[in-house]
Amino acid sequence: KAGVTQTPRYLIKTRGQQVTLSCSPISGHRSVSWYQQTPGQGLQFLFEYFSETQRNKGNFPGRFSGRQFSNSRSEMNVSTLELGDSALYLCASRSPRNGYTFGSGTRLTVV
Amino acid sequence: SQQGEEDPQALSIQEGENATMNCSYKTSINNLQWYRQNSGRGLVHLILIRSNEREKHSGRLRVTLDTSKKSSSLLITASRAADTASYFCATDAIMNRDDKIIFGKGTRLHILP
């Protein structure tokens, strides 16, 4: 069974640009969650999708958005990038019985 | 806000020694999970302990849970260089009606050769 796949691994963008990150969960997992990890704030919950519906959202501005497709793949988008958006973005999928399985993350650097 | 809080923030021990990390949380939980993260990589799920369990083992890992004190500990026995990583506890709060789990800020463990 393939794990959670996140693309791209690394990304450098300029302030003001927008970015789209992709996450493919483990086959059969319908729940996908996104987290932002920074040295200062630790792991912060962004949002969670289940069957193409956003079930929960963390305390992030509207510049952060996401969606989930019918094959459970999810994307998150950040518009009007700020320097503070530089972080490791982690995606996780979950089976009904087990803990989360995380992808390797996308390291976003905003310059 | 963080639900789980790990202690210590950082820990350095000699290879072969045991490493103990603690986690405290605030609200009633369904379960508590421990994860490991190697530098800048994704998190690896180590172990899940349910609220009605007091202790759980997995290889060299031993996790305890004390719901009366709202705390958990992770013990790694006979540490190895490969155990160098950050360790996070995450709680699935009983009030959650969704799949959100909340992480602490982690303990950075460094195993000295």
Inter-chain residue contact A92 with B43, CB threshold 8 Å:
yes
pLDDT value, residue B1: 45
- Which range of A5-14, A94-103, B5-14 scores highest in mean pLDDT? It is A5-14
Confidence (pLDDT) at A1: 57
Q: Which amino acid is at A3?
A: G
Contact B45 A105 (CB under 8 A): no
User: Tell me, what's the pLDDT at B40?
Assistant: 76
Partners of residue B45 on adjacent β-strands? B35
- Contacts of residue B105 in chain A, CB cutoff 8 Å? 42-43
Token duo for residue A98: 């087990």
Report the pLDDT averaged over residues A67-91.
96
Q: Which sign does the torsion angle of CA A39, A66, A63, A106 carry? A: positive
pLDDT level of residue A62 (50, 70, 90 thresholds): very high
Which single residue is written with the structure tokens 């998190």?
B43
Tell whether B35 lies on the interface with A, counting CB pairs under 8 A. Answer: yes
Residue A25 has pLDDT above 90, yes or no: yes
Of A9-23, A28-42, A86-100, B21-35, which gets the smallest average pLDDT? A86-100
Q: How far is A79 from chain B (nearest CA, A)?
A: 24
Q: What is the pLDDT of residue A36?
A: 95
C-alpha distance from A26 to closest chain B C-alpha (Å): 14
Distance (Å, whole) CA B99 – CA A79: 26
Express each pLDDT in A31-57 by its tens digit.
999 999 998 888 999 999 999 999 888
pLDDT band at A96 (very low <50, low <70, confident <90, very high): low
pLDDT higher at A40 or A85:
A85
User: Quick one: A2 exposed, middle or buried, by C-beta within 10 A (0-12, 13-18, 19+)?
Assistant: exposed
B33–A98 C-beta distance less than 8 A? no
Question: What pLDDT, in 10s, does the model give residues B16-46?
Answer: 999 999 999 888 888 899 999 998 788 999 9
Residue numbers in chain B where pLDDT is lower than 50: 1-2
Q: Which residues in chain B have their CB less than 8 angstroms from residue A103's CB?
A: 42
Contacts with B99 from chain A: Cβ below 8 Å = 31, 33, 48, 50, 55-56, 94
Give pLDDT, residue B95. Answer: 52
